[in-house]
Structure 1
Amino acid sequence: MKLEKWKNKWKKWSNLRKWQIWKLKLIDARLYFVSIFVGLLTGLVAVPYHYLLWYFFDVRKTFFIAHYPWYWHVLLFFILWGILIFVASLVKRMPLIAGGGIPQTRAANNGRIRYEHPFKELVAKFCGGVLVLSAGLSLGREGPSVQIGSYIGTLISRWGHILKGERKQLLAAGAGAGLSAAFAAPLSSSLLVIESIERFDAPKTAITTLLAGVVAGGVASWMFPTTPYDLISAVVPGLSFIRQAELYIILAALMAVIAKFYSLIVPFFQERMPAMKLSIPVKMLYLLVIAYAISLTETNLTGGGEQFLMMQGMNGTHDIRWLTIMMLIHFVFTLFSLSSGLPGGSFIPTLVTGGLLGQIFGLVLVQRGWIGYENVSYMMLIGMVAFLVAVVRTPLTAIVLITEITGHFEVFYPSIVVGGLTYYFTELLQIKPYNVLLYDRMFRSHNPEFPEEAGGRYHLFVEIMDGSYFDGKEVDTLALPNHCIIRSIYRNRKNLFPQGQTLIPGDQVEIEMDAQDIEKLYEPLVSMANIY
């Protein structure tokens, strides 16, 4: 009799389990559909952001080329100064819109911070990014696009009453869609999310991000059917295998050494500049003087320097000294721009620095008779990959991104070799990824919006997957890290008390922990709920 009772109980539990797994598949399908909508909405917001940046760059370039009378320059200078002061005041009121946005997106995805006012911050990030780059600062569009997408993913998850355990999937999908909208590169956007933002839930994250990225990239391709990168020619030098190996090793080592200097000097400026006892108007004045002086001499170096890189890739100079001076001016200008804390990313300035370094390296090889002038742009593209790998430490993203935006598959395999070598050399030099440096620095600033500052408890929501460590376990028997408690289980639209419950696939589990332990325990706890 007792055996029969246990058989009936097991049969009932097995039927419930099958129903939960089937229901879980339907929930996943709904999540994928919503991610497509997130991608569409992100594309409709991030692509106009990209368009406005190009439009205002052309307006500014036309103004400086036209040689207007001096009083027009005085008027424009004071207008731009007012714009920078306004954006700096926005950043002071909403600190999360500062900088690029990738560290903030990762922190929001990990639960370290919370977007309290995502719509307001989205508008501020959009307007602030457009205004700052319109003033000519050396910043990129990719970081703000990523954060704009994460804001949209957050808003859709809240408005659509998405389960808390799935909200980070839409946040990550929006972030990937933002990068895809910035470069029309959906595959590399998925890789960036997996490499830099969400390192667990890899299959589900990859699918949602790729779906959102394809849609956002489609909107970007419709608005920008061709990109300037398509015009760069990449002629492969006819070298022997041994000679190519020598060049790639030398280039990778060079990029790693320069990246080591970059990883030391950029954080130094970013810490010292805000510490200077100067008012915001004075700081913005100094920054604008530099930007305006460069605009008067070489306008293409402003706005991140992407136009300057394109010009060098299509019809570049052969003067190594002049190009080196331009690269150094761009690098110093980027240091001051990044240290300002204004909305704008570092991705494009990094690509520009890497591309110019690759071009200089190629011109040196031309002088030595190893390659021809027609091969210099080929070295430029490989230099972009190598320096991006060395600074950001996302090798898959760098390799695929350059291949996607340029369409030159002939640089794909050399990029793998150089990227791999560069990654190895950066490990030897113990270079910390730039976004990780920003991520750590963000929490050292003691921002009151971060949950750890409250010294309280944080609630993490994880979804139980079929075959995971948590699957089939009774809550009372689970061995969790210290100070971690399962507070509730969300199942079939009901919140259940955890005591005596057996976890099954699809359960949304609420785990409470000390806020200061989020960074240490987030990934281990998520891995217990997943099978990847």
Structure 2
Amino acid sequence: MEPNKWKQKWKQLSNLRKWRIWRLKLIDARLYFVSIFVGLLTGLIAVPYHYLLWEFFDIRKAFFTAHYPWYYHVVLFFSLWAILIGVALMVKKMPLIAGGGIPQTRAAINGRIHYDHPFKELIAKFLGGILALSTGLSLGREGPSVQIGSYIGTLVSRWGHILKGERKQLLAAGAGAGLSAAFAAPLSSSLLVIESIERFDAPKTAITTLLAGVVAGGVASWMFPTTPYHLINAVSPGLSFWRQAELYILFAAVIAAIAKFYSLIVPFFQRWLPTLKLSVYTKMLYLLIAAYAISLTETNLTGGGEQFLMMQGMDGTHDIRWLGVMILIHFVFTLLSLSSGLPGGSFIPTLVTGGLLGQLFGLVLVQRGVIGYENVSYMMLVGMVAFLVAVVRTPLTAIVLITEITGHFEVFYPSIVVGGLTYYFTELLQIKPYNVLLYDRMFRSHNPEFPEVEGARYHLYVEIMDGSYLDGKEVDKLTLPNNCIILSIRRDHKTLPAAGETLVPGDQVEIEMDAKDIEKLYEPLVSMANIY
């Protein structure tokens, strides 16, 4: 009778495990459905954000091209100054809305920071980003869109009582949906989350991000049926394979050298400007003087410079010296804008710089008789990929993004070659990704808004998947990295003490670790609970 008793018990345990796995799949399906809802909400908020930026740009451009009397300019100047001061004071009150938002989103996923007031900060990021860019600053819409999506993911996870182990997936899904809404590019948005934000390729994260991105991208495509990038006519130069290889190697090396300078000068500006100890009013005044001067001469170069890039891609200049001056002005203006700390990203200014460098390189090749003028726009698109790879170090995102937003698949393979070469040269030059620099600055440079508390502990929540390393392991016999402790297990709507328990699929495990080790241990610990 004893063997039959054990067989019956084993059968019960086996049936219980099958039930847990089936229930886990239902929970996953619920998470995927909620991620679609996150994508829809993000699209409905981030797409109007994009639309308003275009509208305000058109209004500003119409004003500066209408030749109004001087007193109109006086009124507008002081109005814009008041706007910048208001946004700066808003950022001072809510530091998390400063800058682009990608480092903050990654910090929120890693648990470094918490969105204590996500709804208020969402509204502040939305309004602050629109107002800052509408004054003409050289900032991008993509970073704020990413953070707006992460706020929405946070709110939905709270309102929907999502398990703590799954909240980071919704936060990442919202972030990807934000980028998708900014560019109508769902595939590259998912890649950005994996390469730069989540930095962990768990299948669940990839699926939720892609679902949310597709929905948000659908909303963006409905609002903007055609993107201006499709108007760029890229004609491939008819060169031999070896000739193209020589040019691509040279171009990648030049881009990497410029990116090295960029990676040194941007942090220098961001450290140096605060040491001037200027008041908020004075800082915003100087910044607006620069923006207003550029608006009076070349309005398309303001607001990130995207319109200027479009014009050059469709009917660009042939004057190398003039283009070089415009690149220099845009570069310095972007440095000042990014160092202001106002809401706005660096993605679009980086794309613009890369595209203009590609145009400059193409015009030099035209002068030397290597390619024709009709091929310059082709080099612009390749330059956008190369510089984005060099600065942000997200090769897959850069390659797929340019292909998605332009529709030029003939640039796909050259982008892979140049992007790969640029990535290799940036490794040789030891260029640190720009978003990583910002992320490190938040916590390792004694930033008063984000202090590193000595001895602080962090709680990581992971979900055990069927067939993962932790599946079936006894907690008491597990060997975890130094100072990592499993505190509790959330199972069947109950919180159990970890001691003496065996981990099963669907468990939400709470792991405590030293806060200073988050970046080192986050991926290994999550990978133990997931399946690749």
Give the TM bin, normalised by the shorter chain. Answer: over 0.9
1:239 and 2:239 are equivalent in the alignment: yes
Quote the Cα distance in structure 2 between the aligned partners of 1:50 and 1:153: 19
Quote the Cα distance in structure 1 between the aligned partners of 2:86 and 2:455: 33
1:505 and 2:513 are equivalent in the alignment: no
1:491 Cα deviation after fit: 1.0
Question: What do the CA deviations read for 1:344-374 (whole angstroms, capped 9, x no partner)?
Answer: 0000000000000000000000011111000
Q: Is the 8 A contact 1:112 1:452 kept in 2?
A: no
1:448 Cα deviation after fit: 6.5
SS in 2 for 1:512: strand
Matched residue, 2:14: 14
1:87 and 2:87 are equivalent in the alignment: yes
Question: What do the CA deviations read for 1:300-326 (whole angstroms, capped 9, x no partner)?
Answer: 000000000000000000000000000
SS in 2 for 1:68: coil
Q: Is the 8 A contact 2:202 2:530 kept in 1?
A: no
Question: What do the CA deviations read for 1:266-322 (whole angstroms, capped 9, x no partner)?
Answer: 111011112221111001111110000000000000000000000000000000000
Matched residue, 2:55: 55
Q: Is the 8 A contact 2:202 2:527 kept in 1?
A: no
1:493 Cα deviation after fit: 1.1
1:57 Cα deviation after fit: 0.5
Q: Is the 8 A contact 1:143 1:345 kept in 2?
A: yes
Quote the Cα distance in structure 1 between the aligned partners of 2:74 and 2:45: 33
Quote the Cα distance in structure 1 between the aligned partners of 2:5 and 2:395: 57
How is 1:197-276 mapped onto 2 (pairs within 5 angstroms)?
Answer: 197-276=197-276
Matched residue, 1:105: 105
Question: What do the CA deviations read for 1:432-469 (whole angstroms, capped 9, x no partner)?
Answer: 11111111011135456658437432211000111211
Which letter does structure 2 place at the counterpart of 1:355?
G
Q: Is the 8 A contact 2:203 2:531 kept in 1?
A: no
Aligned length: 532
1:200 Cα deviation after fit: 2.5
SS in 1 for 2:218: helix
1:134 and 2:138 are equivalent in the alignment: no
Quote the Cα distance in structure 1 between the aligned partners of 2:394 and 2:457: 33
Quote the Cα distance in structure 2 between the aligned partners of 1:521 and 1:89: 36
Which letter does structure 1 place at the counterpart of 2:140?
G
Relative to structure 1, is the Cα distance of residues 454 and 159 closer, same or farther in structure 2, using a 3 angstrom cutoff? farther
Which letter does structure 2 place at the counterpart of 1:469?
Y
Which letter does structure 2 place at the counterpart of 1:480?
L
Quote the Cα distance in structure 2 between the aligned partners of 1:316 and 1:456: 55
1:77 and 2:80 are equivalent in the alignment: no
Range that drifts further, 507-516 or 106-115 = 507-516
Q: Is the 8 A contact 1:447 1:453 kept in 2?
A: no
Relative to structure 1, is the Cα distance of residues 181 and 45 closer, same or farther in structure 2, using a 3 angstrom cutoff? same
SS in 2 for 1:387: helix
How is 1:176-215 mapped onto 2 (pairs within 5 angstroms)?
Answer: 176-215=176-215
Quote the Cα distance in structure 2 between the aligned partners of 1:77 and 1:50: 24
Quote the Cα distance in structure 1 between the aligned partners of 2:464 and 2:423: 35
Which letter does structure 1 place at the counterpart of 2:404?
E
SS in 2 for 1:453: coil
Quote the Cα distance in structure 2 between the aligned partners of 1:237 and 1:201: 37
Matched residue, 2:373: 373
Q: Is the 8 A contact 2:443 2:451 kept in 1?
A: no
How is 1:274-293 mapped onto 2 (pairs within 5 angstroms)?
Answer: 274-293=274-293
Question: What do the CA deviations read for 1:122-166 (whole angstroms, capped 9, x no partner)?
Answer: 000000000000000000000000000000000000000000000
The gaps in structure 1 that reach 5 residues or longer are none
1:2 Cα deviation after fit: 5.7
Q: Is the 8 A contact 1:125 1:144 kept in 2?
A: yes
Matched residue, 2:164: 164
Q: Is the 8 A contact 1:172 1:198 kept in 2?
A: yes
Question: What do the CA deviations read for 1:482-520 (whole angstroms, capped 9, x no partner)?
Answer: 222211111111111212111011100011122232222
1:13 Cα deviation after fit: 2.3
Q: Is the 8 A contact 1:451 1:458 kept in 2?
A: no
Matched residue, 2:64: 64
Quote the Cα distance in structure 1 between the aligned partners of 2:138 and 2:130: 12
The gaps in structure 2 that reach 5 residues or longer are none
Quote the Cα distance in structure 2 between the aligned partners of 1:194 and 1:483: 27
1:467 and 2:463 are equivalent in the alignment: no
Matched residue, 2:390: 390
1:92 Cα deviation after fit: 0.7
Quote the Cα distance in structure 1 between the aligned partners of 2:499 and 2:441: 40
Which letter does structure 1 place at the counterpart of 2:423?
Y
Quote the Cα distance in structure 2 between the aligned partners of 1:455 and 1:101: 27
Matched residue, 2:329: 329
Across the aligned residues of Structure 1 and Structure 2, the Cα RMSD in angstroms comes to 1.3
Q: Is the 8 A contact 1:446 1:453 kept in 2?
A: no
Quote the Cα distance in structure 1 between the aligned partners of 2:446 and 2:95: 11
Quote the Cα distance in structure 1 between the aligned partners of 2:332 and 2:420: 28
Range that drifts further, 480-489 or 65-74 = 480-489
